[in-house]
Amino acid sequence: MKKIISNIYEFIIILLALISIAMVILDFSKMINIEKHPFSIIDQSIWLIFILDYGIGFILSKNKKDFITHHIFDLLAIIPVNSVFTIFKAFRITKLLKLNKLMKLSKLLRFIGVAGKLNRRIEKFLKTNGFIYILLVVISILVVASLLFSLSENISFDKSLWWSITTSTTVGYGDISPVTKIGKLIAIVLMLVGISFVGILTSTFTAYFTHEEENKRSNADEIRKFKSLLDDDIITKDEFEKKKNQLLNN
């Protein structure tokens, strides 16, 4: 049960990180305003959850210094959007800089922090079963298929890309349909790629969590071995603590 809860928690943090990154990108693109309702409520809610995530982890950690060192991006992710402006105001140099530039800087810091937080949590998953390479291949196929579909069906690339994504995920809204033979062939390829990718994604999730469980058991065995070395006065307590923290953070 503890393992299941931990996996669900990690999944929620990754999902929130993705939402946060998407919102910052859309804000930079001026498609939304992250400081206005309802996006401000979503942003603040995610921010509070990240604060709790960092705070609880810091409190529970035995080595505070190591925790801070290994969670720099987590710290950046919880910096308030207006904090940069507040810092500059305290030093009375805001007149030298435009406010909008300060706000962009603070949002950029948030973006870097959340991206780093996401990278740290998802890196192992992407490496499982070489999933990162499969993902790159699938993305490449989507782009090439969109380009070919755009040319064969004589529609814009953005519409073609939208069609490729809906087709490969087998959603198929029907707002765009192929009429040429090449377009229909591309649709078949994308459907096969989409179905295969779902299967690969499922197996990667299974392999990842299985590997994580085995890795934790292996680390526990290693810690026990070093504990016996400590009991036999072969290594010092500092050496044992250093190795234990290294294995727990692995």
Q: Which pLDDT tens digits describe the chain residue by residue (250 residues)? A: 666 677 677 778 778 887 887 787 777 777 788 778 888 888 888 888 888 988 888 888 888 888 887 777 777 777 765 444 444 444 444 444 444 444 555 566 666 667 676 666 676 777 777 777 888 888 888 889 999 999 999 998 888 988 998 898 878 777 888 999 999 999 999 999 988 888 888 887 777 766 665 566 676 667 777 778 777 777 787 777 777 776 666 5
Query: Within this chain, do residues 74 and 149 fall inside the same structural domain, yes or no?
Result: no
Q: Which of 66, 95, 125 is the last residue of a domain?
A: 125
Half-sphere exposure for 72 (CA within 13 Å, toward CB):
4
Residues 6+ apart with CB under 8 A from 232: none
Q: Which of 77, 97, 125 is the last residue of a domain?
A: 125
Query: Within this chain, do residues 167 and 210 fall inside the same structural domain, yes or no?
Result: yes
Query: Within this chain, do residues 116 and 136 fall inside the same structural domain, yes or no?
Result: no
Maximum C-alpha span of the chain: 78
Domain assignment of residue 159, given as a range: 131-248
User: How many domains does the chain divide into?
Assistant: 2
Query: Within this chain, do residues 195 and 87 fall inside the same structural domain, yes or no?
Result: no
Half-sphere exposure for 119 (CA within 13 Å, toward CB):
12
Q: Which of 82, 99, 125 is the last residue of a domain?
A: 125
Query: Within this chain, do residues 99 and 143 fall inside the same structural domain, yes or no?
Result: no
Query: Within this chain, do residues 86 and 177 fall inside the same structural domain, yes or no?
Result: no
Query: Within this chain, do residues 145 and 228 fall inside the same structural domain, yes or no?
Result: yes
